[in-house]
């Protein structure tokens, strides 16, 4: 797994070049009324479902993953690896911001003159290829904070960071992690009582047993009082 950060392109790109992947210059920013512009919430792509079918429901609902300070990725469509998109930014509300910018600026907009690019950009990719009859698996992410403790426990918005991170580790381990501790459902899972058979049970528990306990208590108290 290779996780980069904006500003570190010169460090990760030489490594990514051998995979046919590059981390573009700049930071993806996202318009928001409640959060900082550098808090990106990319959507699950179809490749996430290919990685883990358990993400199908989240994908159909259009749920997101939180990525504070994320870059953008590009890849060669006909490279040595088969590439699947895992996460993509929203083309309507986000864009690739070039150069330095102030996060608390209310006037942060797309600046095409300085090279800003608006559109949907991949922020996480899944790469596979066959090597000596074995499958090589690689995840490339343009953010390293999405599976940090802070993002896994974020409670001010609904995100899929925990489920997404678990799916990545499950994919890497060929379904061996996390351990499936579930058990087959119980066979004795049906109630066969009828209204007619419930009546004697009600009499027993609502009348006979409480009445017996009441009488035993009275006898015990009377005998103690006589002594």
Q: Domain locations in the chain?
A: 2-172
Query: Which of 46-60, 108-122, 172-186 is predicted with the least confidence, judged by mean pLDDT?
Result: 172-186
Query: How do strand 134-141 and strand 2-3 relate by DSSP bridges?
Result: parallel
What average pLDDT score do residues 137-157 get?
96
Number of neighbouring beta carbons within 10 Å of residue 84: 18
Q: Model pTM?
A: 0.78
pLDDT at 190: 84
Using the predicted structure, report yes or no on whether residue 193 has a pLDDT greater than 90: no
Task: State the Rg of the chain over Cα.
Answer: 30
Higher pLDDT, 177 or 135: 135
- How high does pLDDT run on average in the chain? 93
Would you call 220 helix, strand, or coil by DSSP? helix
pLDDT digits (tens, 9 = 90+) for 111-135: 889 899 999 999 999 999 999 999 9
Query: How do strand 70-75 and strand 21-30 relate by DSSP bridges?
Result: antiparallel
Query: How do strand 122-131 and strand 2-3 relate by DSSP bridges?
Result: unpaired
Q: Name the percent of the chain lying above pLDDT 70.
A: 98
| CB contact set of 187 (below 8 Å; sequence gap of 6+) | none
Q: How many Cα atoms are found within 13 Å in the side-chain-facing hemisphere of 80?
A: 12
């Amino acid at each position: 797994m290779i996780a980069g950060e904006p500003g570190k392109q010169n460090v990760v790109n030489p490594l990514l070049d051998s995979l046919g992947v590059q981390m573009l210059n700049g930071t993806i920013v996202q318009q928001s009324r409640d959060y900082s512009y550098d808090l990106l919430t990319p959507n699950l792509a179809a490749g996430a479902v290919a990685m883990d079918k358990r993400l199908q429901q989240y994908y159909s609902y259009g749920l997101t993953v939180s990525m504070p300070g994320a870059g953008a990725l590009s890849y060669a469509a006909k490279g040595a690896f088969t590439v699947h998109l895992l996460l993509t930014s929203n083309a309507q509300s986000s864009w690739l911001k070039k150069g330095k910018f102030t996060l608390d600026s209310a006037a942060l907009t797309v600046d095409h003159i300085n090279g800003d690019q608006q559109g949907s950009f991949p922020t996480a990719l899944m790469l596979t290829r066959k090597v000596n009859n074995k499958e090589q698996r690689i995840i490339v992410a343009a953010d390293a904070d999405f599976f940090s403790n802070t993002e896994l426990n974020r409670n001010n918005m609904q995100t899929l960071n925990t489920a997404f991170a678990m799916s990545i580790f499950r994919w890497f381990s060929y379904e061996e992690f996390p351990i499936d501790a579930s058990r087959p459902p119980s066979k004795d899972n049906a109630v066969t009582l009828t209204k007619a058979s419930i009546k004697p049970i009600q009499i027993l528990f609502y009348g006979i047993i409480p009445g017996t306990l009441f009488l035993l208590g009275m006898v015990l108290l009377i005998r103690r009082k006589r002594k």
